[in-house]
Structures are given as C-alpha cells and as structure tokens.
Amino acid sequence: MEQRKGRRLVLFPMPLQGHINPMLQLAQILHSKGFSITVIHTNFNSPNASNYPHFTFHPIPDRLDQSDPAMPSNIGSLLSHLTTMCEGPFEDCLRKLMLDETDEPIGCLVSDALFHFTQGVSERLRIPRIVLRTGGACSFHVFAAFPFLKEKGYLPVQDSKLEDPIMELAPLKVKDLPVINTSDPEKLYQLATSMVNSAKNCAGLIFNTFEDLEQSSLDKLRYEFLIPIFPIGPFHKFCPPSLSSLIAHDETCISWLDRQEPGSVIYVSFGSIAAIEQPEYEEIAWGLRNSGRPFLWVIRPSSVDGVDGLNPGLEERGCIVKWAPQVEVLSHPSVGAFWTHCGWNSTLESISEGVPMICMPCFADQKVNSRFVCDVWQVGVELERSNGLERGKIQRAIRRLFDEKEGEEIRDRMLHLKEKASLCLKQGGSTFQSIGGLADHILSLESLTFSARESTV
C-alpha cells in the first residue's frame, strides 16, 4: 500500500444497500492509495464499523425510526426525507471534524450524488467536493437529459406513449425512462435535476463502471460536464461487498451450489428494495419449477406482499435464502443465469463475473440498465413485468437463455465483456489508470483546503 501522510477524506454514503456497498468499496480503493478515511453516516442503515477498523465513523441523526409508523413507506419519500433532514446534521458534523486540530486536515469530501445539498455545505465550509454516482453512466446521462425530456413531452411519462422510441436517446423507449411510481412525480424530477446540477458543480465525478463498457455514455457526459470524470469500476473486484452488507449473508447456499451441475443454476434476486406482489410470487415459483432447472432464489423478509409460507414443493428443486453472498454466487461455476431487477451493482457484478441476465427492471435506473443489457451489450433477455408476470413468459425467457442459439450467442458476448472487465483492472488498463488519475486529482485539490482551514471555522 502506498503511504502518504495528511490525506484525510470524508465520505458520505446514501444509506441504502446499493449505495453503501460502492461507497465503502471506494473507501477501500482510496485507502489503498494512501488516503485515510472518515465516514459520516446516518443512524438509519448505519454500516458495520467493526468491519473497517482502519476507518473512522461518525453517525449523524436523521429522524428516521424504523418502528415509527410515520417512517417513509416508499423509496421516493425516503429519498426526499433523507435529502431534507440530513443537511443540518451533516454540516455540523463536518464543521466539527474540520475544527479538530488533533486530526489531520481534510483534503476532500466524497459524497453520494443524491446528497445534492453537500454542494452548498462544501461551498460554505470551503472544502472541495467529489461526487460518487453509484448508478451507471448510461442512466446518469438520461437523468441529465430530464429537462430536455420534459420540454419534448416525454416526461412525465404517459401510459399511452410507453412504447414510443426516444430518438434522441436510442435505443431507449418511453417505458425505459428512470422514473419511480409516485403521487408526486415533480418532486422526483426535482431530486434528479438537483443531483445532476450539483454533480456538474463538483470537483470530479466517480462512476462504478469501466471505460470499455460505457464509453459512449461517458463520452457524452464528458462533453456536457466540464469536470473530470473517473470510471474506476468494477469496485467489487477490489474488496468483497460482504463487509458492507446490512443483512448477514447466508453462506449455506454455496455448499448447495457446489452440488449442482456447472452452468445449470438460475440465480434469482431483485436486490435490496424492489418488492413483488403475491400473484407475481406464485408465477415466479411456478415458472421456476416448470423450467426444470435448479434455482437459488433470494426472498428478503417483507419483499413479497402478503406471502407467509413458501409455495409447496418449491424447495425440492431450489435453494431459498433471505440474503445471498451475491458476488460469491455469481462467480460460482454452477450459476448459468441471473434473473435480476438490474440494479446497477447487480448488473455490473453479473457482467464482471460473466453471467448472462434475465432482466426484470422494477423502477428508476433499473429500466435504463435493462435496456442497455438487452439491446446495447446484448448479454441478457428481457422479461416484462408491467403487462403481468406469467409462468409461461418466465419459462420462455429461461429457455431462450439456456436452450436456444440466442442464449449461446449471449453467453459468448458475456464472456467477452467479462474479459474486458478483468483487463481494465490490470496495470495500464483504463480503471487502473483512472484510479491513479483520481488520487493525483484529489491531491491537487488539497492546497485549496489547507489555505481555507482557518478562514472556514
């Protein structure tokens, strides 16, 4: 590990699994470049500090109590709540850290892009701010186009136009736009545009992606954003997400996978937020059973509305767990396909481990990711949920991947992408170089902070 003294960074993750994992993985990457790491985090979904004895953690209040009936019940209102409630406590905490003469000065703040208010805080405290966007460059480019999409009438999304192509953002269709079903679409529109505008005004933008995968989206962003952009993924190759998991991984599924034929298992997981309805659960259960293939299905507690017990006979062919060690699962030789909601971490983990996908996006950026997986990289098949999930459609998607020529071609393309994901990490590879560029960039920002320390606090 490179050792450089006086390089303290403050990281501020959004407290959701798909955001905490990449932020703490980024922390490990930066630590390996000689930076010391301080994490400011909410009490809600707080990371397990004991897994990171080499980092310092500071909790801030967020006025979220999971037992409180007034707890935001959906992802849209949770995001709004967090972006409203965290600003004051975050600023107080950061100010105190900056005042602490016993610790080394802070070189830079690294904030989740969704915490757009950190722009104002960093300006007031005169500390440089870099942003981590935990989603892909492909969907971020679409968020950046929101004002244009609104002007052209694509947003807000109208049911009668769902199948319309968006020529300016081909191959996307209106139904792929990264929105969340909510009673207040304007609020989410504002959140997305604030995220993009505050990212445009930061000192650098980090993506958990790699150049060869998203070059075209990255190029478009580089053209529109006048700040340095660092694609330094796939992050999970630097450290396991198990350290930052909010739920304990059930490792028993690995010994179950050991007993299956190579490439035979369908791994099914819809991430940490997406939920399914009871009739969908029944169709998935029957679709998997009827496919005749072994499956490993992650059913998070409370992720299926209205289901108490498992569908009878389900465990004869499958293994069911509440939370899986996903990266270990995807890299297991028995796994032949990943039926996923296309969260960005899952998408990138699948690509890096070379596992073809059955894409069933649920909301937000997942829909853009799915379109790129199926139509741009062509390493997965689409399974539409919106017109009703039905066992015949599920069996058909599974057959396409496992039994048809199309599946073979998908597998070949996926192996090619996996190879690229591995090459970018090697010396001279794009991620390897970009990490070096990021470390140098952060160091070049420092002079500003050192001179600002006295004047700020």
- Residue of 246, 430, 426, 267 whose CA lies nearest to 349: 267
Q: How far is residue 297's CA from residue 285's CA, in Å, rounded to a whole number? A: 9
Q: How far is residue 231's CA from residue 214's CA, in Å, rounded to a whole number? A: 9
Taking the complex as a whole, the smallest distance from the CB of residue 277 to ligand UDP amounts, in Å, to 17
**Binder of ligand UDP out of 241, 294, 318, 354 (CB under 6 A):** 241
Contact between 338 and ligand UDP per CB under 6 A: no
Q: How far is residue 245's CA from residue 47's CA, in Å, rounded to a whole number? A: 8
Contact between 324 and ligand UDP per CB under 6 A: yes
- Which residues fall within 8 angstroms of residue 193, CB to CB, at 6 or more apart? 143, 146, 147
Taking the complex as a whole, the smallest distance from the CB of residue 140 to ligand UDP amounts, in Å, to 14
Contact between 245 and ligand UDP per CB under 6 A: yes
- Name which of 23 and 39 has its Cβ closer to ligand UDP: 23
Contact between 318 and ligand UDP per CB under 6 A: no
Contact between 209 and ligand UDP per CB under 6 A: no
- Name which of 122 and 347 has its Cβ closer to ligand UDP: 347
Residue 226: both structure tokens together: 């006048």
Taking the complex as a whole, the smallest distance from the CB of residue 300 to ligand UDP amounts, in Å, to 7
Report the chain's C-alpha Rg in angstroms. Answer: 22
Q: x-or-dash pattern for ligand UDP, window 403-432, by CB under 6 A? A: ------------------------------
Could you identify the residue written with the tokens 């993985």?
25
Contact between 344 and ligand UDP per CB under 6 A: yes
Q: How far is residue 366's CA from residue 270's CA, in Å, rounded to a whole number? A: 10
DSSP state of 50: G
Taking the complex as a whole, the smallest distance from the CB of residue 270 to ligand UDP amounts, in Å, to 7
Task: Calculate the CA dihedral of residues 399, 401, 406, 409 and round it to 10 degrees.
Answer: -150
Taking the complex as a whole, the smallest distance from the CB of residue 371 to ligand UDP amounts, in Å, to 16
User: Chain centroid to CA 121: how far?
Assistant: 24
Q: x-or-dash pattern for ligand UDP, window 266-305, by CB under 6 A? A: ---x-xxxx-----------------------x-------
**Binder of ligand UDP out of 345, 395, 431, 434 (CB under 6 A):** 345
> What are the residues facing 57 on neighbouring strands?
39
Residue 60: both structure tokens together: 């801030």
Contact between 45 and ligand UDP per CB under 6 A: no
- Count residues binding ligand UDP (CB under 6 A): 21
Contact between 350 and ligand UDP per CB under 6 A: no
Taking the complex as a whole, the smallest distance from the CB of residue 406 to ligand UDP amounts, in Å, to 25
Contact between 326 and ligand UDP per CB under 6 A: yes
Q: How far is residue 454's CA from residue 51's CA, in Å, rounded to a whole number? A: 34
**Binder of ligand UDP out of 13, 18, 233, 287 (CB under 6 A):** 18
User: Chain centroid to CA 276: how far?
Assistant: 20
- Which residues fall within 8 angstroms of residue 293, CB to CB, at 6 or more apart? 264, 265, 266, 317, 336, 398, 402
Residues within the interface to ligand UDP (CB under 6 A): 16-18, 21, 241, 245, 269, 271-274, 298, 323-324, 326-327, 343-346, 349
